[in-house]
Amino acid sequence: MAQVDSLKFAVEQNVYGVCERLGEKLQMPAKEIRLFFIYASCLTVGSPVIVYLVLAFWMKMRQYVRAQRNPIWDF
């Protein structure tokens, strides 16, 4: 049971970050964005999943690059 809980926590931390971030940028609830991805995936046989994965990769790369930057040059 502990493995299921740890898997659930990992999925919630990594998968839902894209919808939360889009919701912040678009000033919309993340729930509506998640529903959009689900419905669009069903109607288009999964092509929004590719967009979702690209956005997730881009967000992780931005976090990595920002962590590597030297804070002296940030104004």
Cα gap 63→72, rounded to integer Å: 18
**pTM attached to this predicted model:** 0.60
**Number of folded domains in the chain?**
1
| Residue 27, φ and ψ in degrees, nearest 5 | 55, 50
**25-62: pLDDT as tens digits:** 899 998 888 888 888 988 998 788 888 888 888 888 87
29: left (phi over 0), alpha (psi -120 to 50) or beta: beta
Comparison of pLDDT for 73 and 55, the residue scoring more: 55
**Which residue range forms the structural domain that includes residue 23?**
2-73
Q: Write down the pLDDT at residue 27.
A: 93
